[in-house]
Amino acid sequence: ETGVTQTPRHLVMGMTNKKSLKCEQHLGHNAMYWYKQSAKKPLELMFVYSLEERVENNSVPSRFSPECPNSSHLFLHLHTLQPEDSALYLCASSQGVTVTGELFFGEGSRLTVL
């Protein structure tokens, strides 16, 4: 069992829908991340939270809205997405926001926007 759990694993939504991706980490970490992996592209950092405060927002469109209610949970709220937003969304956590230690990734949520 992975220390970082993502739900749902697969999601299909229309462009007018509102949905949310959920991430939970059981590792006692205090930093959490959302990454996007599109086909034939590198993993792209979307958001970083440290101690529940957002510390990084990599010019992500406002149709993606993160929420971090506590250090163990991270959400990505989705609304009025575009087909090009179809991708694998990966959550990760770490102890602190420096990466001399490694990131622990979840298994990802595969999103398809119709």
Partner 1 sequence: DQQVKQNSPSLSVQEGRISILNCDYTNSMFDYFLWYKKYPAEGPTFLISISSIKDKNEDGRFTVFLNKSAKHLSLHIVPSQPGDSAVYFCAATPNSGYALNFGKGTSLLVTP
**Where do contacts with partner 1 occur on this chain (CB under 8 A)?**
2, 4, 6, 31, 33, 40-45, 48, 55-56, 90, 92, 94, 97-100, 102-108
Cβ proximity to partner 1: between 75 and 105 the closer is: 105
CA dist 81 and 102 (Å) reads 31
Cβ proximity to partner 1: between 84 and 102 the closer is: 102
In the complex, what is the shortest distance from the CB of residue 37 to partner 1, in angstroms, rounded to a whole number?
A: 9
Cβ proximity to partner 1: between 81 and 93 the closer is: 93
CA dist 77 and 74 (Å) reads 10
In the complex, what is the shortest distance from the CB of residue 33 to partner 1, in angstroms, rounded to a whole number?
A: 8
In the complex, what is the shortest distance from the CB of residue 40 to partner 1, in angstroms, rounded to a whole number?
A: 7
In the complex, what is the shortest distance from the CB of residue 34 to partner 1, in angstroms, rounded to a whole number?
A: 12
Cβ proximity to partner 1: between 31 and 68 the closer is: 31
SS (H, E, C) the chain: CCCEEEECCEEEECCCCEEEEEEEECCCCCEEEEEEECCCCCCEEEEEEECCEEEEECCCCCCEEEEEEECCEEEEEEECCCHHHCEEEEEEEECCCCCCCCCEECCCEEEEEC
